[in-house]
Amino acid sequence: MHVFKYFQDIVTKEIEAMGAAGELPGGLDLGRVTVEPPRDAAHGDLSTNAALVLAKPAGRKPRDLAEALAARLSQVPDVTEVTVAGPGFINLRLDEDLWRRCLADVLRAGPDYGASTLGAGRKVNVEYVSTNPTGPLTVGHARGAVVGDALASLLAKVGFEVTREYYINDAGAQVDTLARSTHLRYREALGETIGGIPEGYYPGAYLKDVGRALAERDGDKWLGRPEPEWLGEVRRFAIDAMMDLIRQGLADIGIRQDVFSSERALVESGGVEAVLETLEARDLVYTGVLEPPKGQTPEDWEARPQTLFRATRFGDDVDRPLKKSDGSWTYLAPDMAYHLDKFRRGAEIMIDVWGADHGGYVKRMTAAVEALTEGKAEFKVLFCQLVKLMRHGEPVKMSKRAGTFVTLKEVVDEVGKDVLRFIMLTRKNDAPLDFDLEGVLEKSRDNPVFYVQYAHARARSVLRHAAAELPDLPRDPTALAGAPLDLLTDSDELALMKRMAEWPRLVESAAEAYEPHRIAFFLYDFAATFHGLWTRGKDETALRFLLPDEPERTAARLALVQAVAFTVASGLQIFGVEPVEEMR
RNA sequence: GACCCCGUAGCUCAGCUGGAUAGAGCAGCGGACUUCUAAUCCGCAGGUCGCAGGUUCGAAUCCUGCCGGGGUCGCCA
């Protein structure tokens, strides 16, 4: 049961009834009416701004309107008290038993608690990672990977049909560089002395393995031959090797994407030409000359006619080139074809997770998607700011050139995938993140991963103790749902139940805002509520969960504890983090 | 020159799409360990929400203009 949505419906119905009774004009816009938990619990369990929002259009004083609506709401089942406060808020207090029924719902739902049908099966495509296949994943890539993955799970949880996708940029100049660098390592593997790695090549040692593997497969077949003869095959070989490396890196942090789309395949199948034709037919492409770029003008800049997409018609600042001076496609052209492809595969909502350095690209892509789908698809970009890796309070030096950059694997080996994933989600994605290699392993309250996991472990510990020491009590969650929950009467027990009842609402709002980090903050707060109740049991033995002399009350408390474990597990599931049974 | 992020307690950050007296953790101060693991909990203290206007019954939140930090701006992806 989603308490807040349930009462939102009731408030809406009562307002409509007032309209029907002639107390209010009909057809009022109820879009701004909210029903939510008040910030201050002393105000009650629920608060609605309906009277404040509707007073003006209804031509009535907020307080009067509030009184009228309050009178109706006081007749609603489970509403025990209605007060009008401040400028015209209506505060409701609900029957305690309602929260106990919510608790029973949690037990029946299990770790799926919070799932909903909000998305109504709409198709969402979440594209994330999508790094160039030129090297292993770094910690920086991991943030986008984790954010994209958690967002996908979050959307799936609220009823969207989600595709997790990776776009392989295997058609640009960078993969040619990769091929050349690999060829160099291949020659090295066959005994040549290559000396230093020339400027403009990838220096990473990981390419030695690829060169060696190529030598093993093909022998000296590509030796002493002109580049055009080997470039294509070496490139294919190297890209495959890099994608294996990347897929392994993703697997290391528990990510498996559904679709890997190749830019090269798109280009070679004529997908880009097809898009161009479509655009031309609609007069969205023309040949023109652009102004020089503002700011730092490239030295080799010269005005020349080029193939342009009329992005300005869709809100962009300038029209955007689709072809480079050498006649090949710009990045935009195949990317347009790619997004059209996603749309044709059924995506009604497309979400791209990008690094923050791509900020300048969002307007043209938004324009492109609008043009290509004729406004039928929603397009959203999530930016991930940099991750600053810290050790002993000092930033870890990251330089590819100096060979000191830290691979994702190294960090996962050090802290584990669950810690990495959770920490990556403890900030808004568009805020920078400090990742403290020691801090994330600290066993204290200021480490959110530990604190949340500890709450789960504590709950599980109680259940284990119960099973061992009080074997006659029910253990099955469904049976626990039938325990005499009316014996849960302490204010902190009720507070915990209320907090738990907010979970479905929190999940939906996080999904609607595309903000998975909200889950992390909820879990942290929720864990604090649970730890607090736990500790009260130390001083007041009557508040302990396990009371051998009171089997009925103990059963009710086990129901509460089990529900806590389910709620935490439900949140961690969205994050792809395994809830732990005990802390070590 | 333009566009995109960010600016909230000494520090690191939340703030539920405009609600009531702006909240957590850390650091500081004071308390609770014969327990269902004190790896935790309770209390105190700490604020001109960058600045100035505007919209509104009501603004940290929306709009405008400044200030400060970061990013980007044809042939990189």
- What ipTM does this complex have? 0.95
Angle at which helix A62-73 crosses helix A50-58, to 10 degrees, equals 120
Give the residue carrying structure tokens 């990977």. A145
> A201-233: per-residue pLDDT in tens?
998 899 999 999 999 999 999 999 999 999 999
Query: What's the CA A584/C1' B33 distance, rounded, in angstroms?
Result: 20
Question: From start to end of A230-290, where are the E strands?
Answer: 259-262, 285-289
A61 touches strand B (CB under 7 A): no
Beta carbon of A87 within 7 Å of strand B? Answer: yes
Q: Cα–Cα distance between A328 and A319 in angstroms, integer?
A: 18
Tokens representing residue A285 in the block: 């492409």
CA distance A496 to A543: 14
Report residue A400's pLDDT band, with 50, 70 and 90 as the boundaries: low
Residue nearest to nucleotide B19 (CA to C1'): A49
Q: Angle formed by the axes of helices A271-281 and A362-373, to 10°?
A: 70
Higher-scoring residue by pLDDT: A406, A320: A320
Which residue's CA lies closest to nucleotide B5 at its C1' atom? A430
Residue A310's alpha-carbon distances to A210, A278, A303, A359, A371, in angstroms, are: 43, 13, 18, 20, 9
Task: Provide the token pair at A175.
Answer: 């993969």
The pLDDT, as a whole number, for residue A376 is 94
Of A25-29, A419-423, A493-497, A569-573, minimum mean pLDDT range: A25-29
What contacts A529, CB < 8 A, 6 or more positions away? A492, A495, A496, A499
Q: Which of residues 102-131 of A touch strand B (CB under 7 A)?
A: none
**CA A92/CA A102 separation, integer angstroms:** 17
Subset of residues 198-257 in chain A with CB less than 7 angstroms from any atom in strand B: none
By C-alpha distance, which of A390, A404, A395 is closest to A438? A390
Question: Does the structure show a pLDDT above 60 at A403?
Answer: no
Instruction: Indicate whether A187 pLDDT > 60.
Output: yes
DSSP state of A138: B
The answer to whether A367 and A316 have CB atoms below 8 angstroms apart is yes
SS3 assignment for A55-85: HHHHCCCHHHHHHHHHHHHCCCCCEEEEEEE
Instruction: Report which of residues 398-417 in chain A place their beta carbon less than 7 angstroms from any atom of strand B.
Output: none
Residue nearest to nucleotide B2 (CA to C1'): A294
Q: Name the token pair of A221.
A: 């077949």
Q: What percent of chain A has pLDDT over 90?
A: 77
A504/B28 CA-to-C1' distance in Å: 38
The whole-number average pLDDT for the span A522-532 is 95
Mark residues 540-579 of chain A whose C-beta is closer than 7 A to nucleic acid strand B.
Answer: 543-546
Average pLDDT across chain A, whole number: 92
Q: What's the confidence (pLDDT) of residue A195?
A: 87
Q: What is the mean pLDDT of residues A340-350?
A: 96
Strands A349-355 and A35-36: unpaired
Question: What are A124's strand-pairing partners?
Answer: A162, A349
Q: Quick check: helix, strand or coil at residue A540?
A: coil
CA–C1' A493–B26 (A): 28
The structure tokens listed for A213 are 């593997």
What is the arithmetic mean of pLDDT over A321-350? 94
List all nucleotides in chain B with at least one atom under 7 A from a protein Cβ: 1-6, 12-21, 23-26, 32, 35-42, 57-58, 70-77
Q: Are A308 and A319 in contact (CB under 8 A)?
A: yes
**3-state DSSP call for residue A269?**
coil
Paired tokens of A368: 């492109």
Q: What residue type is A235 in one-letter code?
A: R
pLDDT value at A402 more than 90: no
- The C-alpha torsion from A111 through A113 and A118 to A120, rounded to 10°, is 50
Strand A79-85 relative to strand A123-127: parallel, antiparallel, unpaired? unpaired
Q: A161 CA, B61 C1': separation in Å?
A: 32
Q: Supply the DSSP string of A151-183, one letter for each residue.
A: HHHHHHHTT-EEEEEEEE--SSHHHHHHHHHHH
The DSSP element (H or E) to which A204 belongs, if any, is none
